Amino acid sequence: MCFRLRFVLIFVLLAVSACTSYVKVRQMRSGQLKMGLSVREDSEYVDEPDVVVDTVAAQESQGPIFMNAIRDSETGEMVATDVISASRVVARFRNVPERGGYVTIGFDIMVPGRMMESRWQLKIHPQMRLGQDTVRLEPVYITGKDYRKAQLRGYQRYQAFLASIITDTTDLVRMRLLEIFIERNFPDTYRMKNDSSVVPEPLAQSLFGVTQADALRHYTRHWRAERNERKKRNKGNMFRRFVRDSIVHEGLRLDTVMTGSGDFIYQYNHTFKSRPLLKKVGVSLNGDLYEDGRRILTLAYPDDLTFYISSLSSLADDSPRYKMIVLERQVFDHTKALIDFESGSAAVDTLRGDNASELSRVLRCVGQVGSRGDLELDSLVIAASCSPEGAFEYNRRLSQSRSAAVVSMLGRHLDDSLRMKMRASCVPENWEQLRLLVRNDSSLNRSVRRQLMDIMSDLSRPDDVEGEMSRMKEYRYLREHIYPQLRSVTFEFFMHRRGMVKDTVHTTVPDTVYMSGLRAMRQMDYKRAVEILRPYGDYNAALAYVSSGYNHSALQVLEELDSSDPRVCYLMAMVLSRLGRDADALGWFEKALVMVPAMEFRANLDPEMSELVKIRSRKYDVYESY
C-alpha cells in the first residue's frame, strides 16, 4: 500500500511538472513570457573594460535583490559576491561616445525566472547592426542544472567508449598460446625472447619465415581486431550519439548554470572599432530554447535598442583652407624615353625592344600638353644621348642623327602646329647621368665607385677618360649594365601660361594637404590626421590631438588660439577635464556656454563634459537653462 501511494505521488508530481513546462512554453511562444533588452539608466561611460560583471537577480518577497556574480571554474555555477543597489532599466536608446576610433556599448539582458527550467538551456544571441551589416556578438547561455548533468553524462559515456578502444595491438593476440607454439616448434627463435642484441633484418626474416608469420595470424583474435577498427571509424557517430549538445568553451561570453529560481540579468559590454560616418548602432536579441540537446522553441524577440554615436570628428571645422602660391609664366616639363637603336645606327625601328610603347607614350604626352587650355607649348626639344663607348666625335654625330630620326618619326604623327615647334638637340656622351648611376650603384663596392668618380672629375679629354675606365676590370659591368641606360632620348617641353603677362603672379589655391588631414579625421585615422595637421597649429590640429589622446599637445595648441572662439573654449574645457583640472575646465565650459548655449546639449554626449555638467548643476543647485 505504501509503495503504491509513493508511486501515485511521483506520478502526480511528474504530471504537474510537465503541465507547468507546457504552460511556460505556450506563454513563451505567444510572447506573454519573453526576454528583456534595455540600457541602464544610470550607466556610466566605460572605457574598454577589462572585467565584465555578471548580475543575477534572485526574486524574494521583499523585491528583487541584484547581486554581482562570478562563475565557478570547476562547477560552472554562478556564485554571489556582494549585494548592490538595483538599476532602473527604462531606456530604449543611449548616446555613446567614440574615442580613439572605438565605441563601447552596454546593455542588460533580462530573463524572467519563469523562463528557466532545470532541464532546459537558453541560448541567447545578441546582434549588432552597423549600417547594412549585421555582426553577431558572443552568445550568452543559461543552462539548467539537470541539462548540464545530462551533458556531462554524455561526455562520460563517450569517454567510456574511447576507453574501450584497444590501443596496444598485443592485446589482440593470444600471447601465451603463441609463445608455447614458438617454444615447441621454433626453439631457436624462442631463445631470442631474452636476447637484447640487435638482429639484422635479413637474419630476422630467415629466423621467422612464413610459417611463423602464419602462426602469428593464427593466434590473432581477428574478430576483436575488426570490432576495434569499427570503433575507431565510428568515433564521430558515437560522439554525436552520446553528446547531443556539446559544452562550448570558445566564442562564448557566458555559460552559467542556474540553480535557483530568480530572474537573470546580465550586463553586456562590447567594444568595437567604429566606421566613418557611423551615426547609430542597433542591438537586437534572439534566442532558442533547448531540451535534451534539441531545439524546442525559438524565443520571442524583445524590442531593439539604438545607440547614437557622438564622435569628436563632428566638431571639426570644415571651412576651406587656402594657401598662397607663386605662378611662373614660364613652365618647363620633361620626360625620357629609352629608344633602343641598333649599334652604330640612327634608324628608329618600332619592332625593336619596347620602342613602339615608348614612342606611343611620348606621343600621348605631346598630345596632352598640346590640348591643355591653360598652357601654350613654345617648343619641344628632343635630345638623344650616347654612352661614352667609342670616340667622342663619332658619338656626337651619332646622337645628332638619332635626334633627327626621332623628330622625323614623331612629326609624321603630329599636326603642323606641333611639328613646327619640335627642335633637335643632342648630348654626345651623357657623363652627368653616368656619374649619378655610378654613385648610386650598390653592385660596385665603395672603393671602385670612388675611383670611377675620380677618373670622371676632369672631362676635358673625354676619350682619354673612357680609355682609362676601359682598363678597369669592372669595365665589362659598366658596358653591359650601365651604358645601355645612357642611350636615351629626352623630351623637354617649354611652355607659358595663356593670358599671363607678368613673369610671376601670387594667388591662392585650396590646400589639398590640409583637406586630406580633415578627411583622415573623418575616417577616424587620427594618427594620420595628427601627422598632417600638426604643422598648421590651428583648431583642427588641436582637435586631432584631442582625438588621439595627446592632451598636453592639444593644450599647447589651444593656448595659442583665439579664446573668443566658443569651439576653442569647449575643447579647452575637455582637455582640462581629462587632465583632472576640473575647476579650470568648468570656467572654460561656462565661457563657451555664454557664447553658444547649444553647447550645453553637446556636453551631454561627451563623457568628459557630462561630468562638468554634473559639477555645474551641483554648483548652482539648479541646472541653468539658456
Convert the pLDDT of each residue in 94-152 to its tens digit.
888 988 889 999 998 888 888 888 888 899 999 999 888 899 999 999 888 888 888 88
Helix axes 582-595, 566-578, angle to 10 degrees: 160
Among left, alpha and beta (phi > 0; psi -120 to 50; other), residue 5 is alpha
CA distance 613 to 622: 11
Are 588 and 573 a contacting pair, CB within 8 Å?
Answer: yes
**pLDDT > 90? residue 61:** no
Most confident stretch, 297-306, 429-438, 497-506:
429-438
Residue 227 grid coordinates: 570490432
Give the pLDDT of residue 119: 85
Give the pLDDT of residue 339: 82
Give the mean pLDDT of 506-518. Answer: 85
What single letter denotes the amino acid at residue 361? R
Are 55 and 267 a contacting pair, CB within 8 Å?
Answer: yes
CATH number belonging to domain 34-152+254-314: 2.60.40.10
Q: Which of 363-372, 452-461, 598-607 has the lowest mean pLDDT?
A: 363-372
Give the mean pLDDT of 504-521. Answer: 84
Beta bridge partners of 330: 496
CA distance 552 to 538: 15
CA distance 604 to 308: 12
Count of C-beta atoms within a 10 Å radius of residue 40: 17
Closest CA to 494 of 386, 573, 402, 382: 382
Q: Tell me which of 154 and 592 has the higher pLDDT.
A: 592
**pLDDT > 80? residue 387:** yes
For the chain, where do the domains classified as CATH 2.60.40.10 start and end?
Answer: 34-152+254-314
CA distance 431 to 388: 7
Beta bridge partners of 59: 64
Give the pLDDT of residue 224: 63
User: Can you tell me whether residue 3 is helix, strand or coil?
Assistant: helix
Find where cell 656619374 sits.
Answer: 435
Element holding 594 (H helix, E strand): helix 582-595
Are 247 and 150 a contacting pair, CB within 8 Å?
Answer: no
DSSP 386: -
CA distance 121 to 143: 4
What is the b/e burial string over 534-544, where b = at least 16 CB atoms within 10 angstroms of the residue's CB? eebebbbbbbb
CA dihedral 186, 189, 191, 195 (to 10 degrees): -170
Q: Which of 75-79, 327-331, 420-424, 570-574 has the lowest mean pLDDT?
A: 75-79
Residue 389 grid coordinates: 663607348
Q: Which of 225-234, 460-469, 547-556 has the lowest mean pLDDT?
A: 225-234
Find where cell 568515433 sits.
Answer: 235
CA distance 598 to 607: 17
Percentage of the chain beyond pLDDT 90 is 17
Give the pLDDT of residue 157: 84
What's the CA angle centered on 118, arms 247 and 8, to 5 degrees?
135
CB neighbours of 357 closer than 8 A, spacing ≥ 6?
A: none
**pLDDT > 80? residue 30:** no
Give the mean pLDDT of 461-474. Answer: 89
Are 256 and 139 a contacting pair, CB within 8 Å?
Answer: no
Element holding 25 (H helix, E strand): helix 2-30
Are 496 and 376 a contacting pair, CB within 8 Å?
Answer: yes
User: Can you tell me whether residue 560 is helix, strand or coil?
Assistant: coil
Are 330 and 494 a contacting pair, CB within 8 Å?
Answer: yes
Beta bridge partners of 266: 54, 109
Among left, alpha and beta (phi > 0; psi -120 to 50; other), residue 48 is left
CA distance 577 to 571: 10
pLDDT tens for each residue of 411-466: 888 888 788 888 888 888 889 889 999 999 988 899 999 999 998 988 888 889 88
Element holding 396 (H helix, E strand): helix 392-411
Helix axes 446-455, 431-439, angle to 10 degrees: 160
Give the mean pLDDT of 158-171. Answer: 69
Find where cell 550519439 sits.
Answer: 241
Question: pLDDT class for 14, splitting at 50, 70, 90?
Answer: very low
For the chain, where do the domains classified as CATH 3.30.1330.60 start and end?
Answer: 323-497
Residue 578 grid coordinates: 581629462
Q: Tell me which of 52 and 577 has the higher pLDDT.
A: 577
User: Can you tell me whether residue 262 is helix, strand or coil?
Assistant: coil
CATH number belonging to domain 323-497: 3.30.1330.60
Q: Tell me which of 383 and 210 has the higher pLDDT.
A: 383
Give the mean pLDDT of 540-566. Answer: 93
Which long-range contacts (C-beta less than 8 Å, at least 24 apart) are formed by 559-563? 563/591
Beta strands in 4-88 (DSSP E): 36-40, 54-60, 63-71, 78-84
**Residue spans of alpha helices (H) in 219-262:** 222-233, 235-242
CA distance 480 to 483: 6
Closest CA to 218 of 174, 184, 171, 168: 174
Q: Tell me which of 268 and 187 has the higher pLDDT.
A: 268
pLDDT tens for each residue of 260-286: 667 888 889 999 988 888 888 999 998
pLDDT tens for each residue of 609-626: 888 888 887 776 544 444
Mean pLDDT of the chain: 78
Are 453 and 435 a contacting pair, CB within 8 Å?
Answer: yes
Q: Tell me which of 365 and 15 has the higher pLDDT.
A: 365
Question: pLDDT class for 50, splitting at 50, 70, 90?
Answer: very low
Give the pLDDT of residue 595: 92
What single letter denotes the amino acid at residue 289? L
pLDDT tens for each residue of 196-212: 554 454 544 444 443 45
Closest CA to 91 of 111, 78, 105: 105
Q: Tell me which of 64 and 386 has the higher pLDDT.
A: 386
CA distance to 90, 410, 584, per residue, from 108 (Å): 11, 76, 36
CA distance 508 to 515: 15
Question: pLDDT class for 513, splitting at 50, 70, 90?
Answer: very high
Q: Tell me which of 438 and 29 has the higher pLDDT.
A: 438
**pLDDT > 90? residue 517:** yes
Closest CA to 143 of 109, 112, 118, 108: 118
What single letter denotes the amino acid at residue 49? P
